[in-house]
Amino acid sequence: MTPPRGRRAVIAGVATSDYPHLPHLSEHAVHGQSADRALADAGLTFADVDGFATTGFFPMYATGVAEYLGLHPIYFDETNSGGSSFEVLVEHAAYAVESGAVDVVLVTYGSVQLSQMGRRLGTGGGGGGGFAPGPAIYDALWGNTLVGNYAMAARRHMHEFGTTPEQLAAVAVTMRHHAATNPQAQEREPITVEDVVSSRLVADPLHKLDCCVISDGGGACVVTTEERAADLPGDPVYILGAAHATTHHLNLSAMPSLTVSPAAQCGPVAFARAGITPADVDVAQLYDSFTITVVLTVEDLGFCAKGEGGAFVENGGLEIGGRLPTNTDGGGLSACHPGMRGMFLIVEAVRQLRGEGGATQVPGARIAVAHGTGGMLSTGATLVLGREAP
Amino acid sequence: MTERWFPDEMPMPAANAETVGWWEAAAAHRLVVQRCTACGHLRHPPGPVCPRCRSSASEWSALAGTGTVYTFTVVRQAFIPSLADKLPYVVVAVELDGAQGARIVSNLVDVEPEEVIVGMPVEVAWEDMGPELAVPRFRVAGHRGERR
């Protein structure tokens, strides 16, 4: 559907909060810091905001953050699809401004997961006590963990396609390489493939360095119309296409194939809506909860054939100048992963398209993809962003 | 009655309208999957509607309790503190024989983690957790050894 003239959706401002360790801030304060910065980046104020979106782990979460921010929006959204939530929220915000319902949607994220839970948890929690009603119980009885679920997908990928631990490790090595030039990144010390495969196994075949960091942090972006952005100081980034998909909730037993993520469904739809093909993408920000997540995503978005993801990511395939420059801020594997990293993907994609990528800028980047993955490979959401009007 | 493999802090099954029949069968050591009586599609976990034909009519279809390892992981870091002394343990997705590709997630027990491979034949090993509750774990097919 083509929006009315002048109402094409754009991202007019982005920001990250301080990260990765914020023991002095509440979760709401991280939202606040992110919101202040993104609105300032856009050249807007809270008075301009008529729509608001965020999500967290409690019902009526968005209304709570709106209260904290002093917002009384006439549009709000707290769709929660796990790690892909912020791509979904921005897609919804695009529809809201294109329809004319609202003019400026502020989307914020904030988490103090690291300070709240401590480093003890290492690679994400899961399970534990109580009664699990309905189908969820069928996967909850066996002591599996979040990383264990992704490990089972990785094992199956290795079995079907011969993917190696060293190929998975290459993802982590490239993310660390990018993180080295990001002064905020949680882990910046260079690592090698050997370092990754010799780090301790958390859940075979995934090692500690195949897993994302756990951080505090947040971010925000401002979605508005092309027309509204014309009056603002910065260059807008266009939301060219978007789509999201789900294949199952948290039960791997209900996942149709453990080597195909929902990206296979929503990626082609988002690309078609944007009128592009994978070959048109200059830079990608792909959810990297675990190394296998990235391998599945590059295949499912069509950057390579199914089963060829291992070969695609090795030998610098995801570096600047490689096959698909990916996670130029260092990703969740090295820079920052506060639980639902999707907002960071959007912020970094916009920065790349505005030429603000610094040492990891992809020269002349015109089209960027941000793809979030949530749950146990349960949800995917793709945003195609562009420097120029469609 | 065997020793509880996992400690009491683990979640306990809470049956609902769709799953109570499955747990009743399990208590009798019968491994079943839901069969759509309209189109014959087998599904697991149980649910209210056939995802293929949308019929809500279903029955329980008994399986042999055998299958093959579709994928697995060896959990080496416990996130539930009381599981720490069970490490390492194997979580497995079993492709059940005669179930049209339906899979069940469980534990593979009585096995050295290093011996587990994808495609390995396995069979159900029931664990009684109470007078009316049993859960299906799996072991390598033909294995008659002691529980680790």
Per-residue model confidence (pLDDT) at position A131: 53
Asked whether A220 and A53 are in contact (CB, 8 A), the reply is: no
Q: Are strands A217-225 and A104-111 parallel, antiparallel or unpaired?
A: antiparallel
Confidence label for A134 from pLDDT (cuts 50, 70 and 90): low
Where do the domains of chain B lie? 20-140
Determine which of B31, B77, B85, B127 to mutate to test the interface with A (most A C-beta atoms within 10 Å): B77
Q: What is the pLDDT of residues A261-295, one digit of tens each?
A: 999 999 999 999 999 999 999 999 999 999 999 99
Confidence label for A2 from pLDDT (cuts 50, 70 and 90): low
Confidence label for B142 from pLDDT (cuts 50, 70 and 90): confident
Per-residue model confidence (pLDDT) at position A125: 38
Residue A97 has pLDDT above 80, yes or no: yes
A258·B45 Cβ contact <8 A: no
- R_g of chain B computed on alpha carbons: 16
Q: How many residues does chain A have?
A: 390
Q: Which residue has the tokens 């500690």?
A: A208
Per-residue model confidence (pLDDT) at position A120: 41
Per-residue model confidence (pLDDT) at position B146: 52
Per-residue model confidence (pLDDT) at position B81: 80
Asked whether A160 and B127 are in contact (CB, 8 A), the reply is: no
Q: Is residue A108 part of a domain?
A: yes
Asked whether B65 and B46 are in contact (CB, 8 A), the reply is: no
Residue A101 has pLDDT above 50, yes or no: yes
Is the Cβ of B45 closer than 8 Å to some Cβ of chain A?
yes
What is the distance between the alpha carbons of residues A358 and A356, in angstroms, rounded to a whole number?
Answer: 6
Residue A124 has pLDDT above 80, yes or no: no
The candidate with the shortest Cα–Cα distance to A314, out of A164, A161, A143, is A164
Q: What is the pLDDT of residues A223-258, one digit of tens each?
A: 999 999 999 999 999 999 999 999 998 888 889 999
> Phi/psi zone of residue A313: left (φ > 0), alpha (ψ -120 to 50 degrees), beta?
alpha
Per-residue model confidence (pLDDT) at position A106: 98
The CATH number that applies at residue A18 is 3.40.47.10
Q: Is residue A93 part of a domain?
A: yes
The candidate with the shortest Cα–Cα distance to B98, out of B126, B124, B64, is B64
Q: What is the dotted CATH code of the domain comprising B20-140?
A: 2.40.50.840
Residue B1 has pLDDT above 70, yes or no: no
B105·A251 Cβ contact <8 A: yes
Domain range for A81: 9-116+213-386
pTM beyond 0.90: yes
Q: What is the DSSP letter of A333?
A: I
Q: Is residue A247 part of a domain?
A: yes
The residue of chain A with its CA nearest to that of B47 is: A135
> Phi/psi zone of residue B102: left (φ > 0), alpha (ψ -120 to 50 degrees), beta?
beta
Instruction: Give the three-class secondary structure for A10.
Output: strand
Q: What is the pLDDT of residues A22-41, one digit of tens each?
A: 999 999 999 999 999 999 99
Residue A379 has pLDDT above 90, yes or no: yes
Confidence label for A138 from pLDDT (cuts 50, 70 and 90): confident
Confidence label for B7 from pLDDT (cuts 50, 70 and 90): confident
Per-residue model confidence (pLDDT) at position B132: 85
Per-residue model confidence (pLDDT) at position A240: 98
A134·B6 Cβ contact <8 A: no
Instruction: Give the three-class secondary structure for A339.
Output: coil
Task: Report how many domains make up chain A.
Answer: 1
- Sheet with strand A367-374: strands edge to edge: A75-77, A51-53, A104-111, A217-225, A9-16, A237-246, A379-386, A367-374, A283-286
Per-residue model confidence (pLDDT) at position A250: 85
What are B78's two structure tokens? 């416990």
Per-residue model confidence (pLDDT) at position B148: 45
Residue A127 has pLDDT above 50, yes or no: no
Angstroms from B43 CA to nearest CA on chain A: 9
Residue A3 has pLDDT above 80, yes or no: no
Q: What is the DSSP letter of A64?
A: H
Determine which of B8, B41, B76 to mutate to test the interface with A (most A C-beta atoms within 10 Å): B76
Angstroms from A164 CA to nearest CA on chain B: 15
Angstroms from A115 CA to nearest CA on chain B: 17
Confidence label for A126 from pLDDT (cuts 50, 70 and 90): very low
Per-residue model confidence (pLDDT) at position A1: 52
Asked whether A53 and A77 are in contact (CB, 8 A), the reply is: yes
Is the Cβ of B62 closer than 8 Å to some Cβ of chain A?
no
What is the distance between the alpha carbons of residues B66 and A288, in angstroms, rounded to a whole number?
Answer: 36
Residue A122 has pLDDT above 90, yes or no: no
Asked whether A64 and A94 are in contact (CB, 8 A), the reply is: no
Asked whether A157 and A305 are in contact (CB, 8 A), the reply is: no
Q: What is the mean pLDDT of residues B45-67?
A: 96
A128 C-beta neighbours (distance < 10 Å), count: 15
Q: What is the mean pLDDT of residues B38-67?
A: 96
